[in-house]
Chains A and B, each alone.
Chain A
Amino acid sequence: KQEVTQIPAALSVPEGENLVLNCSFTDSAIYNLQWFRQDPGKGLTSLLLIQSSQREQTSGRLNASLDKSSGRSTLYIAASQPGDSATYLCAPYSGYALNFGKGTSLLVTP
């Protein structure tokens, strides 16, 4: 069974900082990996999808990398803003359904 771990569990940074969120997973036989954002009490918004053959994917201030062989992915957020405050979830897909970690709760203070 795919186990997903996200570190740190929570993070508080001042506005403008660059930050890195870490995700590790136990089964490297994945098709792709998605990063999601979840605002309190809300659904999930897909941020980035990395295919298993890719090393990284970029969207605006977000950059996600994937090292499939070692079972790791990172989400890099540049020049953080208060509007980035949310929980970030990574979810590798192994051919049946997404597997979720507990997420990183991010607070960006003005």
Chain B
Amino acid sequence: GQQLNQSPQSMFIQEGEDVSMNCTSSSIFNTWLWYKQDPGEGPVLLIALYKAGELTSNGRLTAQFGITRKDSFLNISASIPSDVGIYFCAGHHDRGSTLGRLYFGRGTQLTVWP
């Protein structure tokens, strides 16, 4: 399957700090998605990006769809303890034989110290 390279693999930060993580792909996606997963729960969609160059915010979260359509980043500003969890990027094609498949990055485990 298609590989998404997500980095960093883990982050340990102090409450109040900003966080940045990114994803790159060897192929082009039509949609980039960012999910957060808490222990014992399913992934929850944070931000969806549809267009190359698009910059979208959701509260303290900001994500961008790279202009090459092969990368995306997620920033979290002023982190708080409830930001703890695993963050996954995912790419999606909206046509062709891969329609309906999400390709996930390996995840970034975020730990926030009070």
Do A and B truly interact?
A: no
- What residues of chain A have their CB less than 8 Å away from a CB belonging to chain B? none
